[in-house]
Copies of this chain bind each other. A is one copy, B any other.
């Protein structure tokens, strides 16, 4: 290895939004000598090859991971266990295995038992993304000024953690280390619950009237067409979040069930309290709460996490999570 190279050969398993962004970022910064790739879907493999973002594309998982000193599993979290099992006999001694899933406790549980002695499992999660999916949606700047959280199990090899951290820093991220359980609770409130709520409100709106009517009707029926038309009043921001990958999010909710249900319970209590304040005309309670929430926004802006992205004419976006 020479220059900024952190790994000789990185294998990326799953070349969707995140996997393809990692491939691009590694290439752009020259962080690896070779980027190998496998995706279970042959059509996705072909699309990634056409994009020319990896050095070698492999029809088999074994072919991709062979001789790799870093394997990045970038599949939906529900698939991590099966991937670990399928590649276990093909891993090079001393290799580091990581992932990018939004849930970490379940990844440790699913991959740990299939990780051979002498291979370092260090689960990870870049807190970055967009609502778009597929290899074409990725871009090399996705991780810049975002956090990459690593959740090494107790007793993990410190040199391996340092090397993986160095890769993420090379892609522009700030690296944070925490334990998997804590990660899952933090993400339950900062990411999983927001997505769950966004999905729900969009579904609620979609159910208002399944027939898309050409004209607004001056009666009680609110049509889905009207919801879309007047979405600039706030709804549209939820539709963006609710356009995220369905498989990824199904897995997240099922695999972080306990923390999600707990945060959802707190949210439901708070929503019921607000509902009661509206019903009983308690303007003071509403005003007090709406003032308090402004502080949090200020904190987000001050922390540099308010976003720095750009919508184009057709509503595409960059650098969003």
Mark A residues whose CB is within 8 Å of B.
102, 127-129, 131, 146-147, 149, 176, 178-179, 182, 185-187, 189-208, 216-220, 222, 224-244, 246-247, 249-251, 253-254, 257, 260-261, 263-264, 266-268, 270-271, 274-275, 278-279, 281, 283, 286-287, 289-301, 303, 305-315, 321
Contacts and interface: CB of A to CB of B under 8 A. Distances in A.
Contact of A250 (B240, B290, B292, B307): B290
Nearest to A271: B200
Given A182-B218, A199-B274, A230 B293 contact: no
B237 A237 contact: yes
B321 A127 contact: no
A189 B235 contact: yes
B315 A300 contact: yes
Contacts of A307: 232, 236-237, 311, 315
Given A287-B250, A295-B206, A275 B264 contact: yes
B235 A190 contact: yes
A225 B302 CA distance: 11
A197 B128 contact: no
Which of A217, A263, A286 counts the most chain B CB atoms within 10 A? A286
Contacts of A254: 278, 281, 283, 286
Contacts of A231: 190, 300, 303, 305
Nearest to A195: B234
Contact of A303 (B147, B196, B229): B229
A224 B208 CA distance: 36
A306 B314 contact: yes
The interface residues of chain A, by DSSP majority, are classed as helix
Contact of A201 (B128, B197, B227, B303): B197
Contact of A263 (B193, B204, B314, B321): B204
Given A194-B237, A271-B197, A286-B254, A296 B179 contact: no
Nearest to A182: B218
Contacts of A275: 261, 264
Contact of A227 (B176, B190, B266, B270): B190
Contacts of A244: 290
A83 B249 CA distance: 49
A204 B189 contact: yes
A191 B271 contact: no
B239 A297 contact: yes
Contacts of A238: 194
Nearest to A230: B190
B191 A230 contact: yes
22 contacts: A131-B297, A149-B230, A178-B216, A189-B222, A190-B226, A190-B227, A190-B233, A190-B234, A191-B235, A204-B263, A206-B293, A206-B295, A239-B306, A240-B297, A246-B286, A246-B290, A253-B278, A253-B286, A254-B278, A264-B271, A308-B315, A309-B311
